[in-house]
Every structure is written in structure tokens, then in C-alpha cells.
Chain A
């Protein structure tokens, strides 16, 4: 596996974090540049279509304010995903309390894919989208992390709080279900 936490300048995320903790703002900018787009993809893959920039910024702010809690056991990007995922769930819970909004269950991000229907052309894409709606919330989350983000099973396990083996099983069950739906 390649090291996604090392940029073109050869500096690792941990190097940049150390520089930022010494007050080097360029290191913070580099960390944002390195991971912001991935965080945006992550947010969109879980149904966040509006205010993605704000969500990404909030994620970095929360991460930078709690760098003492980052022990380097997982990659910095996975840790960022964990924070962003928590923010997404918090926002959905807050939206859920608003009476005017449609209730959204945790892990029910696929319901928001409907808003993107018009943006995606092609029958194959629609079939894939429909197939994903049939997945359980856990299968859908693991499948999304594996396919849309390219995370390893280990990273997925850390992110969703399960074991590496369970993440692998969820992924393969999801893939089998999608195939079966498309073949029907």
C-alpha cells in the first residue's frame, strides 16, 4: 500500500502537524490543501451537498484544536474522516429536531442521493444508485468508504468502530448485493 500521508515535498502529516504546533501557518495550509478535497468527497459521499466548505473547515478547526488527542495510531486523514463523520451525524441529528425538515436516520445518507439524480446521467449509474439504496446502513457506509474513499479495511474499522474482519465481510456482502440487483 502506498503512503497517502506523505506529500510531494516528502513531508509526512506528522511533520506538518509538528510544524503547525510550533506556530508555522504554512504547515497548516499544507495540511488543509492535502486533505480538504478528500474531506469534501467524503462529505458528499455521505449525502452532504450543501455547505461542504463549511463542513470541511469545521472539521479542520476541530482537529487542530484537539491535536493532543491524535496519537498517530491511524492516518491523519482517517482521523479527519472520523471527525467529519461525527460532525455530519451531529448535523443530521440537529436537522432531525427541526419540524420542517424531513427526518433523516443515522446512516441513511442514501436518501439524499435523490437530490443528485438529475446530475447523474446514464442507466448504469442509476442502477448502481438504486442498488445502494437496498443496502443496510452499515453495508452502505463500509461500501462507500471502501469504494468512494479507497480506505483500507483497517481504516474503515477504526472509522466506524468495528473490526477489520467485520469491515471486510460488510464490504463483500454489499458488493454481492449490488451485483445481484444489477443482474436482475
Chain B
């Protein structure tokens, strides 16, 4: 058996045998084999050799093998890990989104609460609950007819007994004429002297054109 001098064609004979050539290559090799006795003889030898080498092969039970493989490799780390990593990444992103949403909602709620508290302090006159404050309704002014200013109440020792009604929540406008008169009398009878004497004040005045400044006590 002589070797064909066309080494390239001879090299492709096993590929022809196993149908591993594309259409054009297969056509070229087939055309060569048809006119080359050496290559035809070598191709026949290859067929024989393949038959010998694969003669003991029986058909394997592919379904049983597949079942066994899946059972022995079910949920392997390599299979679970990418999905778990993906899940963790997705969960991380959704966590951030939820956190951001909560922050936005909280900020909005805080803003609304501040606005409402301001509106309440402007529109609604809450009853004076604290004992040492007296709510005094002022005459209507530009902003609101119901605006209420809280002013410090006079010392408790100087307050008449009737003032307890005021501190209970009623305004001056709720008093009757007789109560109002009594209240005014009490106020007139209150000692207006401050509890402590004021400290002496020194005022230094600089006069332009004079070297020294005058001092007034």
C-alpha cells in the first residue's frame, strides 16, 4: 500500500470518515479520492480500523446515565452559587431602594408635620395649659383675627385668686363685666416694684472736638 503524495488530502481522510468536513472541503476530498487509488485504499483501511477499535461498543442507556448524573450532581455549589450571588445582589439593590424610599417618606412626613405645627400655632389658639402663662387675645391684626400671643404671667404671689379661671383656659374676652372690673382692680392693687433694684448704669459719651468724654451716671 503506497502513500499518496498529496499529504494534505491524505491528512483529511479521517475527517472525511467522521463527516467532520464542511461542504466545500468534503467535495474537494471526495473528488480527489475518486481519482486516487492510494487514498481509496487508505480510506478503506481507516474504515476497517475504526470498526476494529469500536467493535466492542454497545449502546449506552443515555436516559439512565442522565438520571444518575443529575442525582449525583443535583444542586451543586457551582449551580447554586451564581443564582445565590445574583439573588444577594438583587436583594442588596432592593434594600437600598427600600431604604431610600423610607428616607424620602420620612423626610416628607417631617416636612408635613412641621408645616402643620406652624399652621396650628397660627390658626388655632391652644388653651393655656401651663400655669405660669396667660393667653391674651389681642385685637385683630393684619395676619389673623385669631392669632394669640403668649405673654409671661405675673409672679404667682401677686396673682389674685380669680386668675385661676384664666389659667384654666378662658380668655379675657370670656370674662363678664364684673369679673373684668375685679381683674383690673387687682391689677391696680398689684405692687409694681420689681423684685430687685436695677444696677447703676454708667454711660460714656464722647463729644466731637473735645479730648475727653463726658460721663453721666
Contacts and interface: CB of A to CB of B under 8 A. Distances in A.
A binds B: yes
A33 B58 contact: no
A21 B78 contact: yes
A94 interface: no
Contacts of A52: 57-58, 60
Given A116-B56, A146-B14, A36 B73 contact: no
Interface in B53-73: 53-66, 68-70, 72-73
B53 A32 contact: no
Contacts of B63: 29
B51 interface: yes
Given A1-B22, A128-B48, A146-B14, A25 B54 contact: no
A61 B66 CA distance: 10
Give the dominant DSSP class at B's interface: helix
A20 interface: yes
Interface residues of B, number: 46
Contacts of A175: 42
A170 B65 CA distance: 34
Contact of A28 (B25, B55, B69): B69
Interface string B14-40: 110111111001000000000000000
B50 A64 contact: no
Contacts of B62: 32-33, 36-37
- In the complex, which range does the number of interface residues on chain A fall in? 35 or more
Interface of A: 1-2, 4, 20-23, 25, 28-29, 32-33, 36-37, 40-41, 44-45, 49, 52-53, 56-57, 60-61, 64-65, 67-68, 113, 115-116, 119-120, 124-125, 128-129, 132, 143-144, 146-150, 152, 168, 175-176, 178-179, 182-183
Interface string B68-108: 11101101101110110000000000000000000000000
A85 B157 CA distance: 107
